[in-house]
């Protein structure tokens, strides 16, 4: 996929609000595979007529052929020669959009497009590809069985798997899809970068998130400052994490507890100095069945 060159603030001939709408159009179409006027209406608080006008203007003036209307989807899908014009086509752009769930119906045209004194630490992209994510989201949305080619550390050579996916998850480090594995007869997590292109849709699924006990069960992960620190240091850590009475409670799906503790660097490992550890898990026994690598 080719990437559009990054433009400076003075190069854009568009108002800031239109630029954001066109970015949303590309991100949704590329990574989810289905764009409707409802996406623009909900995000920007505009009417259906305006949303339709935005999509048509995007296609006519800036990206002819990028979107194709699909009657079966009741929306637009990426055209065969899709080329981003207002985005880089990077997974991080989709991730940032997913994290931003607030209503964007405010007056963006009052803002100037300018460089901000903000930087973001670059992290590995982990090989997330639009073709894979689109197929999974569609299967989740339409509750379909999906045949995939999957490689794992135990089986580095890709092998066919039939899964019934229900949710795509970003763990903080990588993307995976949660779903029923027909080979193992259990709900499993499948790393998206290890799924091959060309997933094949099969018959309707007979399992979804409702039968996934680990997904439905909620564990409250309880954290506190490392007691090896002195009182002043513990108070500082408590303030850093916004703790209440010295504790932080994080309700978490049981299926995701292990990933949360990995992200917090609280997975079972060799002890670290308190200045590096900073926080501890108070209810390890309750979390133990869901920890990765704990016995």
pLDDT at 95: 76
pLDDT at 102: 36
3-state SS assignment for residue 121: coil
User: Under CATH, what is the fold of the domain 130-209?
Assistant: SH3 type barrels. (2.30.30)
pLDDT at 245: 94
181 φ, ψ (degrees, to nearest 5)? -100, 120
Q: Which long-range contacts link 152-156 to residues 24+ away (Cβ below 8 Å)?
A: 152/194
In which residue ranges of the chain is CATH 1.10.10 found?
9-106
Higher pLDDT, 283 or 90: 283
- Range in 56-70, 207-221, 269-283 the model is least confident about: 269-283
Question: Residues 228-261: pLDDT tens digits?
Answer: 999 999 999 999 999 999 999 999 999 999 999 9
DSSP-derived secondary structure for 185-228: TEEEEEEGGGBPS--EEEEEPS--GGG-HHHH-EEEEEEEE-TT
Report the distance separating Cα 96 and Cα 94, nearest Å. 5
Q: What is the mean pLDDT of residues 157-175?
A: 92
Give the DSSP letter of residue 62.
I
Question: Residues 85-124: pLDDT tens digits?
Answer: 999 998 878 877 776 643 333 333 333 333 334 455 666 7
Q: What is the mean pLDDT of residues 115-139?
A: 74
Question: Residues 42-73: pLDDT tens digits?
Answer: 888 899 999 999 999 999 999 999 999 999 98
pLDDT at 96: 76
Residue 125 reports pLDDT greater than 90: no
How many helices (H) and strands (E) the chain has is answered by 10, 10
Torsion of CA 27, 255, 277, 229, to 10 degrees: 120
pTM of the model: 0.73
Beta-sheet pairing, 175-181 with 159-170: antiparallel
Report the distance separating Cα 128 and Cα 35, nearest Å. 20
pLDDT at 122: 65
Confidence of residue 165 (pLDDT cuts 50, 70, 90): very high
Burial label, 273 (beta-carbon count in 10 A; 0-12, 13-18, 19+) = exposed
188: Cβ contacts below 8 Å, ≥ 6 apart: 163, 178, 179, 180, 181
Question: Residues 22-34: pLDDT tens digits?
Answer: 999 999 999 989 9
Q: What is the mean pLDDT of residues 139-147?
A: 96
User: Under CATH, what is the fold of the domain 9-106?
Assistant: Arc Repressor Mutant, subunit A (1.10.10)
Question: Residues 178-207: pLDDT tens digits?
Answer: 999 999 999 999 999 999 999 999 999 999
In which residue ranges of the chain is CATH 2.30.30 found?
130-209
Residue 158 reports pLDDT greater than 90: yes
Report the distance separating Cα 113 and Cα 119, nearest Å. 16
pLDDT at 12: 54
| Paired tokens of 183 | 């080979």
The share of the chain scoring above pLDDT 90, in percent, equals: 68
Higher pLDDT, 184 or 270: 184
Contact present, 63 and 76 (Cβ < 8 Å): no
Confidence of residue 291 (pLDDT cuts 50, 70, 90): confident
């Amino acid at each position: 996929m080719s990437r559009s060159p990054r433009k400076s603030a003075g190069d854009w001939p568009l108002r800031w609000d239109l630029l954001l709408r066109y970015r949303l159009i590309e991100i949704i179409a590329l990574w989810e595979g289905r764009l409707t006027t409802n996406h623009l209406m909900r995000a920007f608080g505009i009417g259906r007529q305006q949303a339709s006008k935005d999509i048509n203007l995007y296609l006519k003036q800036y990206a002819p052929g990028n979107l194709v209307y699909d009657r079966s989807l009741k929306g637009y899908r990426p055209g065969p020669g899709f080329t981003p014009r207002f985005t880089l086509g990077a997974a991080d752009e989709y991730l940032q959009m997913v994290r931003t769930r607030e209503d964007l119906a405010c007056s963006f045209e009052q803002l100037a497009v300018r460089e901000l004194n903000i930087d973001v630490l670059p992290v590995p992209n982990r090989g997330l590809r639009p073709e894979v994510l689109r197929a999974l989201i569609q299967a989740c949305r339409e509750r379909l069985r999906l045949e995939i080619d999957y490689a794992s550390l135990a089986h580095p050579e890709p092998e066919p798997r039939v899964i019934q996916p229900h949710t795509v998850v970003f763990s903080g480090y990588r993307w995976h899809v949660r779903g029923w594995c027909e080979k193992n007869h259990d709900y499993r997590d499948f790393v998206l970068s290890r799924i091959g292109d060309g997933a094949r849709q099969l018959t309707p699924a007979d399992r979804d998130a409702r039968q996934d006990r680990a997904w439905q069960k909620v564990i409250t992960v309880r954290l506190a400052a490392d007691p090896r620190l002195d009182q002043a240091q513990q108070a500082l850590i408590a303030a850093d994490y916004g703790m209440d009475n010295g504790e932080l409670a994080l309700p978490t799906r049981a299926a995701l507890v292990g990933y949360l503790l990995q992200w917090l660097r609280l997975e079972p490992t060799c002890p670290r100095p308190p200045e590096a550890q900073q926080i501890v898990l108070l209810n390890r026994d309750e979390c133990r069945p869901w920890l990765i690598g704990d016995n």
